[in-house]
Amino acid sequence: MKLPLDRYDRLPEALAGISAREIRSVFPNPSLVFIAGEDPQPLFISTLLHGNELTSFSVLQHLERACRQSPPPRSLIIFVGNVGATEAGVRHLDDTPDFNRIWANGHSPWHELAGDVMAEARGAGLFASIDIHNNTGDNPLYGCVNALRPADLQLAAMFAPVGVYYLNPPTTQSIAFSRICPAITVECGKTGNTDGIDAAIRLVEGAMRLKAFDPAPPGPDALKVYHTVGRVLIPENVSFGFGEAGVQLVLREDLEAKNFRPMPAGADWADTELSGMPLSVVDEHGNDLTDEFFCRDGRALKLVQDVVPSMITRNKEVIRQDCLGYLMRPI
Ligand SMILES: [Zn+2]
């Protein structure tokens, strides 16, 4: 089976009048939009990899308006990703994979689709790549990079003063694109957050106008960078909740409020009636690092070392589909 990947040479004006759930009236299938600009080296913009993260839809609408009268300052290649999930208002449909986990390590039709997008991008000699997301937890705006190069860090600083360097999960769009150009994932807060929409549009506009990246990385005042060292997972057979009784793993109620705040060794994470370790921490290769980060103290689960959590969410569906959150260290 070969999945359709449609191609366009402009963003349709009809985008202006529709809601995200109506995306398939404009883009019935995943699509690549090639818009010629003054500087021919294209900026790649990745949108709607997750169908319920709609800041990128606002960026699409903005770009359609901006490009209506005159060509953009730099050529654009825009990927419109999981339109089926966007129509349904979900991260991904039950019978399709997560569109931000298909850019390596697989041979499904969706991996092939991502491979086709990559091949186009590689052939185009990109200036940079920006993938636009939202998250469900209580997080500041931040950009994620997968290489600590000056250009990638400059993109992050253009978006927000907080950056995250990660290599896990290894199958994301920005990790794949970081091998061919400066690449960033921007986390624009919760869907609908107007600061996030403004910052994403500012970044895209700034990257279109930028002639070249600075050879020096941004200073510490412009960007504070954290390194993601582990991803926290809850086994499927463990019931869990936040501060509520009647589940096997009772996570502390205020865990989400700890995002991007240092937590010292010894801090409590959870209380459990189970024996053993009812959560796990893995690195980008899938290696189990749980014992390096968590220990048992009676019923309590405590941190073994200082960490800064991120992307902790209370959304149980996201936790089941993706993870509880990440553990980071400042760089
Ligand atoms: Zn996302």
SS (H, E, C) the chain: CCCCCEEECCCCHHHHHCCHHHHHHCCCCCEEEEECCCEEEEEEEEECCCCCCCHHHHHHHHHHHHHHHCCCCEEEEEEECCHHHHHHCCCCCCCCCCCCCCCCCCCCHHHHHHHHHHHHHHHHCCCEEEEEECCCCCCCCEEEECCCCHHHHHHHHHHCCEEEECCCCCCCHHHHHHCCCCEEEEECCCCCCHHHHHHHHHHHHHHHHCCCCCCCCCCCCCCEEEEEEEEEECCCCCCEEECCCCCCEEECCCHHHHCCCCECCCCEEEEECCCCCCCEEECCCCCECHHHHEEEECCEEEECCCEEEECCCCCHHHHHHCCCEEEEEEC
| 199 and 62 housed in the same domain | yes
Choose one of 222, 245, 270: the last residue of a domain: 222
pLDDT at residue 303, rounded to an integer: 97
| 236 and 259 housed in the same domain | yes
**Ligand 1 centre distance from Cα of residue 92 (Å):** 10
**Ligand 1 centre distance from Cα of residue 38 (Å):** 31
**Ligand 1 centre distance from Cα of residue 49 (Å):** 7
Angle at 283 between CA 278 and CA 287, to 5 degrees: 75
| 179 and 77 housed in the same domain | yes
| 262 and 141 housed in the same domain | no
pLDDT at residue 286, rounded to an integer: 86
**Ligand 1 centre distance from Cα of residue 69 (Å):** 31
| 279 and 199 housed in the same domain | no
**Ligand 1 centre distance from Cα of residue 273 (Å):** 33
**Ligand 1 centre distance from Cα of residue 186 (Å):** 9
Within a domain: 288: yes
Domain total of the chain: 2
**Ligand 1 centre distance from Cα of residue 134 (Å):** 5
pLDDT at residue 111, rounded to an integer: 98
**Ligand 1 centre distance from Cα of residue 1 (Å):** 26
**Ligand 1 centre distance from Cα of residue 184 (Å):** 13
Q: Which residues of the chain register pLDDT less than 70?
A: none
Choose one of 160, 188, 222: the last residue of a domain: 222
Within a domain: 140: yes
pLDDT at residue 321, rounded to an integer: 85
Domain extent for 116 = 6-222
pLDDT at residue 139, rounded to an integer: 87
pLDDT at residue 136, rounded to an integer: 84
Within a domain: 1: no
pLDDT at residue 304, rounded to an integer: 97
Choose one of 193, 222, 251: the last residue of a domain: 222
**Ligand 1 centre distance from Cα of residue 190 (Å):** 10
**Ligand 1 centre distance from Cα of residue 290 (Å):** 25
| 163 and 301 housed in the same domain | no
**Ligand 1 centre distance from Cα of residue 164 (Å):** 15
